[in-house]
Structure 1
Amino acid sequence: MEAYFQYRRLQQSNQERIQRKDSQTDLESSESSDGEKASTSRFVEFEHCDPNDPRQWETRWKLFYTVIIWLLVFVTGWSSAADSTSHEVAARHWGVSEVAESLAASMYLFGVAFGAVVAGPCSETVGRLPTYLGTFAMFLIWTMASALAPTFGGQIVFRGLAGLFASASMSIYGGSLADMFETKTRALIWPFFALAPLLGPTIAPIVTGWLTQELGWRWDDWFTLIISGAAYLMAMAFLPETFQPIILSYKAQMLREMTGDATYRAEFDESTNLSQRLAENFRRIARFTFRESTTVLFGLYLTFLYLLIYGFLEGFDYIFTKTYTFNIGQRYTAFAAVAVGIGLGLPYVVVVNRFVTRRDQTRTKGNGPLPESRLIPAVFASPLLVIAMFWLGFTNRTDISYFSSLGACCLFGFTLMALFTPTYHYLLDTYGTVASSALAAITFMRYLASGGMVIATEPLYTALTVKWVLVLFGCIAAVLMPIPWIFWWFGARMRSKNPSYLG
């Protein structure tokens, strides 16, 4: 509905310009190698204080749209972990092993991984809004199908399809923020927004653990469907298009229809056709995934963080049930410690960002901090991840209170926030309008690995025990710990060698 009103506002704005005979103030002639085309094409642009430019919308409306996107990201992240609490019960229902039932969660994550490769380029080809609404509608359909699944195989397939269509919301939100907010403002917004992809999979087990215990395992999907449906209705009613090239394309089309002058064009329309744009975007995804040091290294780090999140979804059975005899509801309520840690990490990131912004004010002439300065919260928090893993590994014993394990989980949540938020912020500042493709590449890496981790967790904990699994995680965290430091020191030089850097 909001998209309709946005279209009407754009139409009215064009009519007013035509009536004033002032169209030359926001239209520019452009020369190309084809002389005839250069003389007949005029490319439309946003004018100063143009209300149709997402970056010039009123702040209150931009914040409102951000909240809606936040909800879409939260519920799709929620769904990724919602059914992790029911593997034991569902496995008994289907007559399969718990490892086999863990495929339900894995297939969702695999779906997110492969869907992200398509979602990012599609959002930069057809627009953010059609991508959000179209894919989310299919996500709702397949979530309902999973809740009604008559067979084990059907549940696995439906969960995979739900993840495939959930991927858009989980991979293009960074691009939406870049559409609406300048770099300086994004520094204030992003830490709050980053709560969505982190809190979704950490709060979901707290709720669905009790739902599984009291109402049955199918209620994990039903409850997900209820809250996701509410978020979707809000998006349908109030979310507009935010991708500037698409809006300019609409503007050019309207001017052609209203004036009968076919010379009005948007650069987005003239560059390539649809299939060529998709092909170029897929090539960009491949470049981000395999060739650019920035996305490859941070992709490894963020992948490891998500391995820990989804590894804990299965591992809490060993950490809290087998060690402290927690029931299903109590076991996953322990995830509240991780959620509390994430919440405590928010003010840390906000305060450090504010300090960095003030410090860099003169260095960047008021244009916000340097991209590398975004990494300062991660630089100082990276050793804490190592500490959290060793703390949990060496104190998870029956003769030590479970409050010690909860404290380690809280520290883990703190480091999640302190590492995830700055690294994503750095990528947003680095890649600008193609940030969706960069984030999609990283989303592909981290969810593909996380899907495998869900399957491997139970055999891993069985073979190594809690202590040595967490010691292994701590050692990997120690190896990856220098990555934020490397980019803090050498990031500017590395960015200058990356072909997609827009700075």
Structure 2
Amino acid sequence: MSQADLETKMDTRPSSTDDKSSQELAKPVASRPQQQATLAPDDPENPRLWPMGKKVLTTVTLCFWVLSFNYGSTAYVASIPDLQTRFNISEEVAVLGVSLMIFGLGAGPLLWGPLSEIIGRQKVYRIAALGYTAFSIGVAFSENIGTLIVLRFLAGFFGSASINNVPASIGDYTTLHERLRLTAVYALCAFGGPSIGPLVSAFVDVDAGYRWNLRVIAIFCGVTSIGVAFLPETAGPQLLERKLKRENPELLPPKKSTGENISALVTSMSRPIVFLFTEPVVMIVSLYLSILFGILFGFFEAFTVVWLEIRDWTPTSFGLTYIGLGLGFFFGLGLVGSQGQKQYEKRAAADKARGIPVQPEARLTLAYIGAFLCPAALFIFAWTAPFHQVHWIGPIIGEFLFSFGMILIFTAFIPFLIDNYQLTAASALAAGTAGRAIFGGVFPLFSIQMYHKLTVQGATSLLAGLMCVCAPIPFLFNKYGRTLRAKSKWAVAQEA
């Protein structure tokens, strides 16, 4: 093999089939850590050259796995009263089954994200799918509350590989122009799952009891985990290594010792924490999405105050109120797939006309709308939900607008992070996932007490005010994003 061929195969630039001139402008600068070697953009084995049908099938399989995790995280809520009776525990202890699973979601990505950058996505998915299924089955057959909540944490730890690594996998096999629509499917499952969980589980728990509710969760995660186990590898560095093993094993770097491998893993595991506290882009995006995630999971507990205590609805009728959240996510996805893609292509064309790579800020157009919708939706919910004289459709509209705005923000910032960090996107996403999990796990622990003491109006208005403070974030990134990226040690340099 010639030196030129070797250099092509060992291309360390972020691979994209969209615009080769952009590749030349997107080289890591000398001060940045060396990127991993990956497949060349025109290599036939590059997953970005897969046919669209294969990309869609892979995305659907991965996203149903994500859906199963999020379904299970909130479907448990319907069984809390039964668990209180069965194990003679307080509501606060029963709620730990929600919080500890979300805390597992926070801890897992610190391992699964960096590990997938070392050994590949496929191996991580198979290990995580096995543990996720096993511990979910264990939850369904637990005979005491201690075992149940510990296993819920472990199920969250292993299942978190879905929430964290799937966007990175989508980034592996999508081009810039495909990424938004397929990431939107991920976002729908990531946020649609929590709204479907309480809706379906309310009927399962009432008709079949809490045991079958937990069994349905285990069956769902087990079936989707089997599908994920058969997916092909998508990480470029691992695909390149496999190719060199077949064709030119002499070009492979020498094998590392066990100590070197452990050192590399520890270094990689620390990367999400480093990103979270040293990368302003990751720090700000993580904080914004974490607050949104915390409010969403806090809602699942707060809704019981509104619909069961104040409006005196039955558990099954209460479950139906989550349709508002689900429809918001669904219609938001429709807007992302239509207008969001058009707006991205418009911004991308403008960047190319200037002779520069497509800037990640092109992803943020719909986030501007979502930034205003979320606080407005919370105010609507606050001042309609607790009043019997106000028709129930009022707070449902508030739920709808909140989830609609939330998915606009989420589908803007996840591709934004992927575009910024590319080959280290899994670590950047892991930092954000850990932050979201902390907020999502903590909010349910105090949300009911907050709603009781501050009233529905006061508590929800407080959250709406917090979202008002966050609303300028997408606009600030649009103005200062390139400046922040230029100062980053890990973000891919994109000259402007």
1:438 correspondence with 2:428:
yes
Partner of 1:248: 240
Give the 3-state SS of the residue equivalent to 2:108 in structure 1. helix
Partner of 2:364: 375
Give the 3-state SS of the residue equivalent to 1:50 in structure 2. coil
Report the Cα distance in structure 2 between the residues aligned to 1:47 and 1:376, rounded to whole angstroms: 30
1:27 correspondence with 2:27:
no
Is the Cα contact below 8 Å between 1:364 and 1:370 reproduced in 2? no
Select which of 52, 57, 63 maps to 1:59: 52
Partner of 1:7: none
Instruction: Give, in angstroms, the shift of residue 181 of structure 1.
Output: 1.2
Report the Cα distance in structure 2 between the residues aligned to 1:408 and 1:105, rounded to whole angstroms: 24
The CA deviation string for residues 353-384 of structure 1, in whole angstroms up to 9 with x for no partner, is 31331243142259874211211111122111
Letter in 2 for 1:349: V
Report the Cα distance in structure 2 between the residues aligned to 1:358 and 1:268, rounded to whole angstroms: 47
Report the Cα distance in structure 2 between the residues aligned to 1:83 and 1:464, rounded to whole angstroms: 26
Is the Cα contact below 8 Å between 1:324 and 1:402 reproduced in 2? no
Select which of 191, 197, 202 maps to 1:198: 191
The CA deviation string for residues 262-290 of structure 1, in whole angstroms up to 9 with x for no partner, is 622169979x9422331332232122111
Letter in 1 for 2:403: G
Shifted more, 73-82 versus 148-157: the winner is: 73-82
Is the Cα contact below 8 Å between 1:128 and 1:242 reproduced in 2? yes
Give the 3-state SS of the residue equivalent to 1:102 in structure 2. helix
Letter in 1 for 2:342: R
Q: TM-score, normalised by structure 1?
A: 0.87
Question: 1:13-412, aligned counterparts within 5 Å?
Answer: 26-28=5-7, 46=39, 49-237=42-230, 239-255=231-247, 263-265=250-252, 273-350=260-337, 351-365=339-353, 369-396=358-385, 397-412=387-402
Partner of 1:39: none
Partner of 2:26: none
Select which of 419, 426, 441 maps to 1:451: 441
User: Percent same amino acid at aligned positions?
Assistant: 27
Is the Cα contact below 8 Å between 2:129 and 2:229 reproduced in 1? no
Letter in 1 for 2:426: S
Is the Cα contact below 8 Å between 1:82 and 1:201 reproduced in 2? yes
Select which of 409, 424, 438 maps to 1:419: 409
Letter in 2 for 1:378: A
Letter in 2 for 1:392: F
Mark the CA change 1:243 to 1:266 in structure 2 (over 3 Å): closer, same or farther.
farther
Mark the CA change 1:391 to 1:268 in structure 2 (over 3 Å): closer, same or farther.
farther
Is the Cα contact below 8 Å between 2:129 and 2:226 reproduced in 1? no
Shifted more, 361-370 versus 163-172: the winner is: 361-370
Mark the CA change 1:274 to 1:99 in structure 2 (over 3 Å): closer, same or farther.
same
Mark the CA change 1:166 to 1:30 in structure 2 (over 3 Å): closer, same or farther.
closer
Report the Cα distance in structure 1 between the residues aligned to 2:8 and 2:171, rounded to whole angstroms: 27
Is the Cα contact below 8 Å between 2:70 and 2:190 reproduced in 1? yes
Mark the CA change 1:227 to 1:269 in structure 2 (over 3 Å): closer, same or farther.
same
The CA deviation string for residues 299-349 of structure 1, in whole angstroms up to 9 with x for no partner, is 111111111111111111112112221111211221110110111112322
Give the 3-state SS of the residue equivalent to 2:299 in structure 1. helix
Shifted more, 409-418 versus 348-357: the winner is: 348-357
Report the Cα distance in structure 1 between the residues aligned to 2:60 and 2:281, rounded to whole angstroms: 29
Is the Cα contact below 8 Å between 2:125 and 2:229 reproduced in 1? no
The CA deviation string for residues 16-54 of structure 1, in whole angstroms up to 9 with x for no partner, is xxxxxx7888435999xxxxxxxxxxx997467433221
Is the Cα contact below 8 Å between 2:122 and 2:229 reproduced in 1? no
Instruction: Give, in angstroms, the shift of residue 251 of structure 1.
Output: 2.1
Report the Cα distance in structure 1 between the residues aligned to 2:254 and 2:169, rounded to whole angstroms: 20
Letter in 1 for 2:409: L
Mark the CA change 1:26 to 1:119 in structure 2 (over 3 Å): closer, same or farther.
same
Is the Cα contact below 8 Å between 1:87 and 1:98 reproduced in 2? yes
Mark the CA change 1:269 to 1:378 in structure 2 (over 3 Å): closer, same or farther.
farther
Partner of 1:6: none
Q: CA RMSD in A?
A: 2.4
Q: Which has the larger radius of gyration?
A: 1
Mark the CA change 1:487 to 1:393 in structure 2 (over 3 Å): closer, same or farther.
same
Shifted more, 228-237 versus 195-204: the winner is: 228-237
The CA deviation string for residues 174-202 of structure 1, in whole angstroms up to 9 with x for no partner, is 21011111222213322233211111111
Letter in 2 for 1:253: K
Report the Cα distance in structure 2 between the residues aligned to 1:79 and 1:267, rounded to whole angstroms: 44
The CA deviation string for residues 430-483 of structure 1, in whole angstroms up to 9 with x for no partner, is 111111100100100110121111111222122222111101111111111111
Give the 3-state SS of the residue equivalent to 2:118 in structure 1. coil
Letter in 2 for 1:124: E
Is the Cα contact below 8 Å between 1:120 and 1:440 reproduced in 2? yes
Which structure 1 residue ranges, 5 or more long, are not aligned?
1-21, 32-42, 257-261
Is the Cα contact below 8 Å between 2:70 and 2:193 reproduced in 1? yes
Q: TM-score, normalised by structure 2?
A: 0.88
Which structure 2 residue ranges, 5 or more long, are not aligned?
11-35
Aligned residues: 464
Report the Cα distance in structure 1 between the residues aligned to 2:255 and 2:186, rounded to whole angstroms: 29
Report the Cα distance in structure 2 between the residues aligned to 1:395 and 1:502, rounded to whole angstroms: 46
Instruction: Give, in angstroms, the shift of residue 235 of structure 1.
Output: 2.0
Report the Cα distance in structure 2 between the residues aligned to 1:91 and 1:139, rounded to whole angstroms: 25
Report the Cα distance in structure 2 between the residues aligned to 1:469 and 1:404, rounded to whole angstroms: 17
Instruction: Give, in angstroms, the shift of residue 229 of structure 1.
Output: 1.8
Letter in 2 for 1:242: T
Mark the CA change 1:28 to 1:431 in structure 2 (over 3 Å): closer, same or farther.
closer
Letter in 2 for 1:212: D
Mark the CA change 1:268 to 1:482 in structure 2 (over 3 Å): closer, same or farther.
farther
Report the Cα distance in structure 1 between the residues aligned to 2:232 and 2:336, rounded to whole angstroms: 29
Letter in 1 for 2:236: Q
Shifted more, 471-480 versus 365-374: the winner is: 365-374
